[in-house]
Protein backbone atom coordinates (compact mmCIF):
# COMPACT_ATOMS: atom_id res chain seq x y z
CA UNK A 1 0.00 0.00 0.00
CA UNK A 2 2.79 2.39 0.97
CA UNK A 3 4.71 1.42 -2.15
CA UNK A 4 1.70 2.19 -4.34
CA UNK A 5 1.19 5.55 -2.63
CA UNK A 6 4.87 6.39 -3.11
CA UNK A 7 4.74 5.50 -6.80
CA UNK A 8 1.59 7.54 -7.28
CA UNK A 9 3.16 10.59 -5.62
CA UNK A 10 6.32 10.15 -7.70
CA UNK A 11 4.25 9.96 -10.88
CA UNK A 12 2.26 13.04 -9.83
CA UNK A 13 5.44 15.02 -9.11
CA UNK A 14 6.96 14.04 -12.44
CA UNK A 15 3.78 14.99 -14.27
CA UNK A 16 3.64 18.39 -12.56
CA UNK A 17 7.30 18.95 -13.35
CA UNK A 18 6.77 18.13 -17.01
CA UNK A 19 3.74 20.42 -17.20
CA UNK A 20 5.72 23.21 -15.54
CA UNK A 21 8.70 22.73 -17.88
CA UNK A 22 6.43 22.69 -20.90
CA UNK A 23 4.78 25.92 -19.75
CA UNK A 24 8.15 27.63 -19.27
CA UNK A 25 9.32 26.39 -22.68
CA UNK A 26 6.15 27.69 -24.34
CA UNK A 27 6.69 31.06 -22.64
CA UNK A 28 10.28 31.20 -23.96
CA UNK A 29 9.08 30.44 -27.49
CA UNK A 30 6.38 33.09 -27.22
CA UNK A 31 8.88 35.73 -26.06
CA UNK A 32 11.27 34.70 -28.84
CA UNK A 33 8.51 35.19 -31.41
CA UNK A 34 7.82 38.65 -29.99
CA UNK A 35 11.49 39.64 -30.36
CA UNK A 36 11.52 38.13 -33.85
CA UNK A 37 8.52 40.18 -34.97
CA UNK A 38 10.09 43.37 -33.63
CA UNK A 39 13.28 42.51 -35.49
CA UNK A 40 11.32 41.91 -38.68
CA UNK A 41 9.79 45.35 -38.31
CA UNK A 42 13.24 46.94 -38.15
CA UNK A 43 14.35 44.86 -41.16
CA UNK A 44 11.40 46.18 -43.14
CA UNK A 45 12.46 49.72 -42.24
CA UNK A 46 16.02 49.05 -43.41
CA UNK A 47 17.55 49.23 -39.92
CA UNK A 48 19.58 46.02 -39.99
CA UNK A 49 21.62 46.82 -36.86
CA UNK A 50 18.62 47.27 -34.55
CA UNK A 51 16.90 44.33 -36.24
CA UNK A 52 19.91 42.14 -35.49
CA UNK A 53 19.84 43.10 -31.80
CA UNK A 54 16.23 41.98 -31.50
CA UNK A 55 16.74 38.82 -33.53
CA UNK A 56 19.71 37.77 -31.43
CA UNK A 57 17.56 38.17 -28.30
CA UNK A 58 15.07 35.80 -29.90
CA UNK A 59 17.79 33.31 -30.78
CA UNK A 60 18.97 33.16 -27.16
CA UNK A 61 15.50 32.12 -26.11
CA UNK A 62 14.73 29.71 -28.96
CA UNK A 63 17.07 28.96 -31.86
CA UNK A 64 15.08 26.21 -33.59
CA UNK A 65 12.79 28.58 -35.49
CA UNK A 66 13.60 28.43 -39.23
CA UNK A 67 11.89 31.77 -39.85
CA UNK A 68 14.15 33.38 -37.24
CA UNK A 69 17.25 31.84 -38.82
CA UNK A 70 16.15 33.18 -42.20
CA UNK A 71 15.64 36.64 -40.67
CA UNK A 72 19.11 36.50 -39.13
CA UNK A 73 20.50 35.64 -42.54
CA UNK A 74 18.76 38.68 -44.03
CA UNK A 75 20.09 40.96 -41.29
CA UNK A 76 23.68 39.75 -41.71
CA UNK A 77 23.34 40.00 -45.50
CA UNK A 78 22.21 43.62 -45.16
CA UNK A 79 25.31 44.28 -43.06
CA UNK A 80 27.47 42.52 -45.69
CA UNK A 81 28.50 39.80 -43.25
CA UNK A 82 28.20 37.18 -45.95
CA UNK A 83 29.67 34.17 -44.14
CA UNK A 84 27.28 34.68 -41.23
CA UNK A 85 24.36 35.16 -43.61
CA UNK A 86 25.19 31.88 -45.36
CA UNK A 87 25.45 30.07 -42.02
CA UNK A 88 22.00 31.23 -40.88
CA UNK A 89 20.28 30.53 -44.19
CA UNK A 90 21.74 27.02 -44.04
CA UNK A 91 20.44 26.64 -40.48
CA UNK A 92 16.99 27.66 -41.68
CA UNK A 93 17.13 25.04 -44.43
CA UNK A 94 18.38 22.37 -42.04
CA UNK A 95 15.45 23.06 -39.72
CA UNK A 96 13.01 23.24 -42.63
CA UNK A 97 14.31 21.70 -45.88
CA UNK A 98 11.07 22.67 -47.64
CA UNK A 99 11.73 26.43 -47.31
CA UNK A 100 12.04 28.07 -50.75
CA UNK A 101 12.38 31.60 -49.40
CA UNK A 102 15.51 30.64 -47.46
CA UNK A 103 16.91 28.79 -50.49
CA UNK A 104 16.35 31.87 -52.66
CA UNK A 105 17.93 34.13 -50.04
CA UNK A 106 20.96 31.87 -49.79
CA UNK A 107 21.27 32.07 -53.54
CA UNK A 108 21.28 35.88 -53.44
CA UNK A 109 24.33 35.80 -51.15
CA UNK A 110 26.19 33.57 -53.61
CA UNK A 111 25.00 35.88 -56.40
CA UNK A 112 26.54 38.82 -54.58
CA UNK A 113 29.77 36.86 -54.15
CA UNK A 114 29.70 35.97 -57.87
CA UNK A 115 29.63 32.26 -57.07
CA UNK A 116 27.29 31.65 -59.96
CA UNK A 117 26.94 27.86 -59.86
CA UNK A 118 26.18 27.78 -56.15
CA UNK A 119 23.63 30.52 -56.65
CA UNK A 120 21.99 28.60 -59.50
CA UNK A 121 21.68 25.47 -57.35
CA UNK A 122 19.88 27.48 -54.65
CA UNK A 123 17.51 29.19 -57.09
CA UNK A 124 16.69 25.87 -58.76
CA UNK A 125 15.87 24.44 -55.34
CA UNK A 126 13.54 27.36 -54.64
CA UNK A 127 11.70 27.35 -57.97
CA UNK A 128 11.18 23.58 -57.90
CA UNK A 129 8.98 23.98 -54.82
CA UNK A 130 5.41 24.11 -56.11
CA UNK A 131 4.26 25.86 -52.93
CA UNK A 132 6.66 28.80 -53.41
CA UNK A 133 4.42 31.88 -53.48
CA UNK A 134 6.86 34.11 -55.40
CA UNK A 135 8.64 31.91 -57.97
CA UNK A 136 9.37 34.96 -60.15
CA UNK A 137 12.04 35.97 -57.63
CA UNK A 138 13.97 32.73 -58.13
CA UNK A 139 13.44 32.78 -61.91
CA UNK A 140 14.70 36.35 -62.20
CA UNK A 141 17.65 35.51 -59.96
CA UNK A 142 18.48 32.62 -62.28
CA UNK A 143 18.54 35.20 -65.06
CA UNK A 144 20.99 37.25 -62.97
CA UNK A 145 23.24 34.26 -62.36
CA UNK A 146 23.37 33.20 -66.00
CA UNK A 147 24.00 36.81 -67.02
CA UNK A 148 26.92 36.76 -64.58
CA UNK A 149 28.18 33.66 -66.38
CA UNK A 150 27.74 35.51 -69.70
CA UNK A 151 25.25 32.86 -70.84
CA UNK A 152 22.91 35.51 -72.19
CA UNK A 153 20.55 33.17 -74.02
CA UNK A 154 19.66 31.26 -70.84
CA UNK A 155 19.63 34.50 -68.89
CA UNK A 156 17.00 36.00 -71.21
CA UNK A 157 14.97 32.79 -71.04
CA UNK A 158 14.74 32.93 -67.24
CA UNK A 159 13.93 36.64 -67.15
CA UNK A 160 11.09 35.99 -69.59
CA UNK A 161 9.83 33.10 -67.46
CA UNK A 162 9.85 35.41 -64.44
CA UNK A 163 7.83 37.99 -66.36
CA UNK A 164 5.27 35.36 -67.36
CA UNK A 165 4.71 34.77 -63.65
CA UNK A 166 4.73 38.48 -62.75
CA UNK A 167 4.59 40.88 -65.73
CA UNK A 168 5.10 43.95 -63.55
CA UNK A 169 8.32 42.72 -61.92
CA UNK A 170 10.66 45.59 -62.73
CA UNK A 171 13.84 43.75 -61.68
CA UNK A 172 13.33 41.14 -64.40
CA UNK A 173 12.64 43.87 -66.99
CA UNK A 174 15.87 45.59 -65.95
CA UNK A 175 17.88 42.35 -66.06
CA UNK A 176 16.43 41.56 -69.48
CA UNK A 177 17.55 44.99 -70.67
CA UNK A 178 21.07 44.44 -69.37
CA UNK A 179 21.27 41.03 -71.05
CA UNK A 180 20.14 42.52 -74.37
CA UNK A 181 22.65 45.33 -73.98
CA UNK A 182 25.47 42.82 -73.40
CA UNK A 183 24.44 41.11 -76.64
CA UNK A 184 24.45 44.39 -78.55
CA UNK A 185 20.68 44.36 -79.11
CA UNK A 186 20.22 47.99 -78.09
CA UNK A 187 16.66 48.38 -79.35
CA UNK A 188 15.41 45.49 -77.19
CA UNK A 189 17.54 46.72 -74.27
CA UNK A 190 15.97 50.20 -74.40
CA UNK A 191 12.47 48.72 -74.59
CA UNK A 192 13.05 46.47 -71.54
CA UNK A 193 14.67 49.22 -69.49
CA UNK A 194 11.80 51.58 -70.23
CA UNK A 195 9.38 48.93 -68.96
CA UNK A 196 11.47 48.63 -65.81
CA UNK A 197 11.22 52.41 -65.36
CA UNK A 198 7.48 52.25 -65.93
CA UNK A 199 7.08 49.93 -62.92
CA UNK A 200 9.77 51.52 -60.70
CA UNK A 201 10.06 55.17 -61.83
CA UNK A 202 12.20 56.27 -58.87
CA UNK A 203 14.93 53.63 -59.15
CA UNK A 204 17.97 55.62 -60.29
CA UNK A 205 20.21 52.70 -61.42
CA UNK A 206 17.81 51.83 -64.26
CA UNK A 207 18.13 55.35 -65.67
CA UNK A 208 21.90 54.94 -65.51
CA UNK A 209 21.60 51.66 -67.45
CA UNK A 210 19.38 53.40 -69.99
CA UNK A 211 21.93 56.18 -70.36
CA UNK A 212 24.65 53.63 -71.08
CA UNK A 213 22.55 51.93 -73.76
CA UNK A 214 21.75 55.24 -75.47
CA UNK A 215 25.43 56.19 -75.36
CA UNK A 216 26.41 52.89 -76.99
CA UNK A 217 23.68 53.44 -79.53
CA UNK A 218 25.20 56.88 -80.32
CA UNK A 219 22.13 58.80 -79.11
CA UNK A 220 23.92 61.50 -77.12
CA UNK A 221 20.92 63.63 -76.16
CA UNK A 222 18.87 60.73 -74.81
CA UNK A 223 21.91 59.42 -72.95
CA UNK A 224 22.49 62.78 -71.29
CA UNK A 225 18.79 63.03 -70.38
CA UNK A 226 18.89 59.60 -68.69
CA UNK A 227 22.07 60.44 -66.76
CA UNK A 228 20.53 63.75 -65.64
CA UNK A 229 17.58 61.78 -64.23
CA UNK A 230 20.03 59.75 -62.13
CA UNK A 231 21.39 62.98 -60.61
CA UNK A 232 17.84 64.23 -59.98
CA UNK A 233 16.77 61.04 -58.19
CA UNK A 234 19.99 60.37 -56.23
CA UNK A 235 21.83 63.70 -56.06
CA UNK A 236 24.31 62.84 -53.29
CA UNK A 237 25.15 59.30 -54.34
CA UNK A 238 28.28 57.81 -55.92
CA UNK A 239 26.05 56.81 -58.86
CA UNK A 240 25.20 60.48 -59.42
CA UNK A 241 28.92 61.30 -59.53
CA UNK A 242 29.43 58.56 -62.13
CA UNK A 243 26.46 59.83 -64.16
CA UNK A 244 27.88 63.37 -64.08
CA UNK A 245 31.21 62.07 -65.36
CA UNK A 246 29.38 60.32 -68.21
CA UNK A 247 27.56 63.55 -69.09
CA UNK A 248 30.80 65.50 -69.21
CA UNK A 249 32.37 62.82 -71.40
CA UNK A 250 29.43 62.98 -73.83
CA UNK A 251 29.49 66.78 -73.91
CA UNK A 252 33.09 66.75 -75.08
CA UNK A 253 32.07 65.13 -78.36
pLDDT for the residue numbered 22: 53
Evaluate if residue 3 carries a pLDDT over 70. no
By percentage, how much of the chain surpasses pLDDT 70? 90
Three-class DSSP labels, the chain: CHHHHHHHHHHHHHHHHHHHHHHHHHHHHHHHHHHHHHHHHHHHCCCHHHHHHHHHHHHHHCCCCHHHHHHHHHHHHHCCCHHHHHHHHHHHHHHCCCCHHHHHHHHHHHHHCCCHHHHHHHHHHHHCCCCCCCHHHHHHHHHHHHHHCCCHHHHHHHHHHHHHHCCCCHHHHHHHHHHHHHHCCHHHHHHHHHHHHHHCCCCHHHHHHHHHHHHHCCCHHHHHHHHHHHHHHCCCCHHHHHHHHHHHHHHCC
> What pLDDT, in 10s, does the model give residues 19-54?
555 557 677 788 989 989 999 999 999 999 999 999
Tell me: the pLDDT tens digits for 182-234?
999 999 999 999 999 999 999 999 999 999 999 999 999 999 999 999 999 99
Q: Which domains does the chain have, with CATH numbers?
A: 18-97 (1.25.40.10)
Q: What is the pLDDT of residue 204?
A: 98
pTM for the complete prediction?
0.87
Amino acid sequence: MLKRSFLFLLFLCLSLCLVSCAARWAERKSKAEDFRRVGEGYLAEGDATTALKELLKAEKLYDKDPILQNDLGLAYFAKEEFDLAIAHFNKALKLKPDYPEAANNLGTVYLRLEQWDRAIACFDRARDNLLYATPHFALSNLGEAYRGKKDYGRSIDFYQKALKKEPRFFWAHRGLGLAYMAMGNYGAAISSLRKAIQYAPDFAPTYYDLGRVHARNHDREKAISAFEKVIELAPDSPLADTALAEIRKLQRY
